[in-house]
Chain A
Amino acid sequence: MRIRSFAVVAVVAGLALSACGSDGGGGGGGPASTGGRANPDATVTIGAVLEPTGLDITRTSGVAVGQILLGNVYEGLVKRDQKGVVSPALATSYRISPDGRTYTFTLADNAAFHDGAPVRAADVVSSLTQVIAPNSTNPHASDLASISAVSSPDPRTVVLTLTERDSGLLFNLTGPAGAIVRQGATGLDGRPDGTGPFRFDSWRRGDSITLVRNDAYRGPKAKVARVVFRYLTDPNAQNNAVRTGQVDIGAISDYDLVDTYRGNPKFTVAEGTTTDKFTLAFNQDRGPLADVRVRHAIRQGIDKDGLIKVLGAGTRIGSPVPPLDPWYSDLTSIDRYDPASARRLLAQAGHGGGLRLGLTIPNIYPPSIGDYVTSQLREIGITIDLRRVEFPAWLTDVYTKHDYDLSIVDHAEARDLAFYVKPGYYFGDRSPQARDLAKAGATAASDADRDTALRALARRYSEDAIADWLLLAKVRQVARVGVTGYPTDNISAIYDLSKIEVVKS
């Protein structure tokens, strides 16, 4: 069995992400250039939260590594923009056969790795073959599970053969599983070597990662000479670094603090949407939560609008589908906040005299979320034993051993609806109906069919109360005036650096 560590580590990514990303609305670029003279020799320092555990994109799990390297250092055959729209990258074009089982890509003829070697079809074949190999060590291997063979009839053409239709394949090829590395490349952990607009320069563990512009890039060149990701895990340190100019762009999650930058002529504030779904998971496999009435009661007992109010930002969602996904539908009317009804449901389930449940929450999230849920559940007669744990402890206890009643983590991955039907996932919908819907969505012949199936699946999740989705986080970045073009939304787990520019001051 392949462990989907991505799913989990992505959770951490919530924080990595909140370190980067946000939006003023619209096109997904930061504030437009003010018309000053751009400085091509500039260095941009970005305050980030979650440092990757390694830099080998073919082995390292977690969103942090992809966020830094994907699209910047590495490229795939195709790429996605801030809104999830797929377009050609290393491939200049692609063709899909009518039965949806053969994808033919034509490679760019002037693409080269950073060491100067040209990109050949053999590099693509070896990269993707390694991912789908039976003994693959790629943590994102299941993204490409539908591919049965990769071949290249000529040096500029790559053909993917699928076992069945896969409506998510192109999107997945834009992710870390689709990154193209050089055939036979070694030492990727210390020296990532890709084809993107930035070259890897250095990594000071615990401090920063530096990328420099790839002047030999085939497309439009990056607009700054150097980008430094500085890791500042403490929100106060992040705030101070922004305020004192140690970083040019920083993520400030606290709305009160963000407000202190508004109206300040030295900073711009950008707010954007994310795919960070703070999820209260229910362990249906044991105890009182096996009873659907208890699960509905908990959902009805938590005032999500109140939580969003005290946190200052966030979007109410009724399922793991964010509003920007094509198969979104508004499910927030299921299990509206209604403590009286929640208490009735608990009484019907035989817990009228009170109920005691454990809640495990990694300590990387703001304590207010756990405090809020604990307090709200006490109002409907549920006593919570709150356990704040290190993230690895959460992975062991909750994710691996399923030893929990309730758990809160940020599921940061985009388009993760199918995770929750996997057998052995730490929570989810085990019914055959849900599995059929997920399969129907994945193998749909048209986007409309896919959207219909996935919409029904999301509704099922919500009606069956497999979890409560507390909120979809927002991300706010504060940037020094003069720095523009940074990605503001954070829905693609990729932080595109190529459009960032700095105006000479």
Chain B
Amino acid sequence: MNASARALARGVWGSRSGRLGAVLSGLVVVAAVVSLVWTPYDPTRVDPAASWAPVGTAHWFGTDRLGRDLFSQVLVGARTTLLVAVAATAIAAVVGVGLALLATLPPRLVSEGVAHLVDVLLAFPVLLLAMVLAAVYGGSRWTAIVAIGVGAGIGLGRVTRGEVRRVLGADYVLAARAAGAGTGRIVRRHVLANITPTVSVQLSLILGLSVLTEAALSYLGFGTAAPTPSWGRMLAELQPYLTLRPLTLLWPGLAVVLTVLGFNLLGDGLREAGDPRLLERPAEGAGGAPRTAPAAEAPAIASASRARLPWARGAGRT
């Protein structure tokens, strides 16, 4: 972990929402990891004798109609959720940043075309895309991952394009270009480094969105296929008993809510830590700020923007 990442982590932990988000997200990761080595029961093992067992020491969250242990299912479901969320978010990052670059860097005719295409694609809901994919290739985790990743990536591309344009217009980029830096170097050293805060906040929101979408798709039968436990499928299977056995639905529902909340709060924390305009006090130094690249090549601008901060925040309070 390099210095800037450490500072970012400190910043996230320092904010209340960031800390809560980190704890909740961490909980999901721990549940997923624990489920790899231990679950109280085999989550798919049916036990007629334990049908609808109540919450208790034998079954912490009770059981479903087939006598399957709900706690074990929630644990293993965390694995599914995390896999889909992380993989989809990775795809979204690649698709989103790629689209943003394509919509700014090439000659005007191409870049404007891509930008408009993104605007059009934005009109297709992710759920619909996922259903189309599932109809063609069959519902599975992977169709869900691809659909969520591509769908969210398009939205990300739309947001990121503005950021890329802003960075490309910045003085330090002009300076770098004047110094003879090629497009590739500018993208690597300046653009990617400077859009990272915005993109990472967006990605943490996409993490949360992926969790929700995966649950929705599995609920509708287009996502994770049986018998792999998934929170969405648990909700679908238990939903008819909503009025009869509401407690059974509480667990997967709570798991989804807390996970989404965790990822979103983590995003808030990241934003606060990564956005200098929200900092309470001046950064300890250029080296500790997240924007390494501009700090190195355009220290004047970076420190100038930071220099205003205490005053701005102070003014807001008085």
* Chain A interfacial positions (CB closer than 8 Å to B): 235-236, 239, 254, 256-257, 259-260, 303, 305-307, 309-310, 363, 367-368, 370-372, 374-376, 378-379, 386, 388
Contacts and interface: CB of A to CB of B under 8 A. Distances in A.
B197 to A, nearest CB: 44
A310 B44 contact: no
B287 interface: no
A269 to B, nearest CB: 15
Interface in B19-46: 42, 44-46
Interface centre among B42, B51, B226 (most CB of A within 10 A): B226
Contacts of B221: 363
Given A371-B226, A374-B227, A378-B45, 13 more contacts: A236-B239, A256-B244, A257-B244, A260-B244, A303-B48, A309-B51, A310-B65, A371-B66, A371-B227, A374-B44, A375-B66, A386-B226, A388-B226
Contacts of A370: 226
Top 8 closest pairs, chain A to chain B, by CB? A306-B48, A375-B46, A309-B48, A372-B46, A310-B51, A310-B48, A375-B45, A310-B66
Contacts of B49: 306
Interface of chain B: mostly helix, strand, loop or mixed? loop
Contacts of B44: 371, 374-375
Interface residues of B, number: 22
A260 B245 CA distance: 12
B48 A307 contact: yes
Interface centre among B65, B225, B237, B239 (most CB of A within 10 A): B65
Given A260-B244, A310-B51, A310-B65, A367 B237 contact: yes
A260 B67 contact: no
A379 B45 CA distance: 9
A376 B46 CA distance: 7
Contacts of B305: none
A368 B44 CA distance: 11
Contacts of B244: 256-257, 259-260
11 contacts: A303-B48, A306-B48, A306-B49, A309-B51, A310-B48, A310-B51, A310-B67, A370-B226, A371-B226, A372-B46, A372-B66
A242 to B, nearest CB: 13
Contacts of A309: 48, 51
A368 B239 contact: no
Contacts of A236: 239-240
Nearest to B226: A367
A5 B68 CA distance: 37
Nearest to B245: A256
B243 interface: yes
A370 B46 CA distance: 11
Interface in B196-245: 221, 225-227, 237, 239-241, 243-245
Interface centre among B46, B66, B225, B237 (most CB of A within 10 A): B46
A305 B51 CA distance: 13
A303 B44 CA distance: 16
A256 B65 contact: yes
Contacts, number: 59
Interface centre among B240, B243, B245 (most CB of A within 10 A): B240
Contacts of A260: 243-244
A386 B51 contact: no
Interface in B239-283: 239-241, 243-245
A239 B240 contact: yes
A453 B46 CA distance: 39
A372 B51 CA distance: 12
A239 B227 CA distance: 26
A368 B66 contact: yes
Nearest to B242: A236
A371 B42 CA distance: 13
Contacts of B239: 236
A256 B240 contact: yes
A29 B40 CA distance: 49
A98 to B, nearest CB: 54
A386 B227 contact: yes
Interface in B144-159: none
Contacts of B68: 371
B243 A371 contact: no
B205 to A, nearest CB: 32
Interface in B48-105: 48-49, 51, 65-68
B46 A371 contact: yes
Given A254-B240, A310-B48, A388 B225 contact: yes
Nearest to B237: A367
Nearest to B225: A388
Contacts of A259: 244
Contacts of A368: 65-66, 237
A431 B219 CA distance: 46
A306 B68 CA distance: 13
Contacts of B241: 256-257
A235 B240 contact: yes
A164 B243 CA distance: 59
Contacts of A371: 44, 46, 66, 68, 226-227
B81 to A, nearest CB: 20
Contacts of A376: 46
A137 B240 CA distance: 42
Interface centre among A303, A363, A367, A376 (most CB of B within 10 A): A367
Nearest to B67: A310
Given A235-B240, A371-B66, A310 B46 contact: yes
A420 to B, nearest CB: 28
B303 to A, nearest CB: 61
B194 to A, nearest CB: 48
Contacts of B225: 388
Contacts of A310: 46, 48, 51, 65-67
Contacts of A254: 240
Nearest to B52: A256
A305 B49 CA distance: 11
Contacts of B48: 303, 305-307, 309-310
A235 B225 CA distance: 20
B133 to A, nearest CB: 16
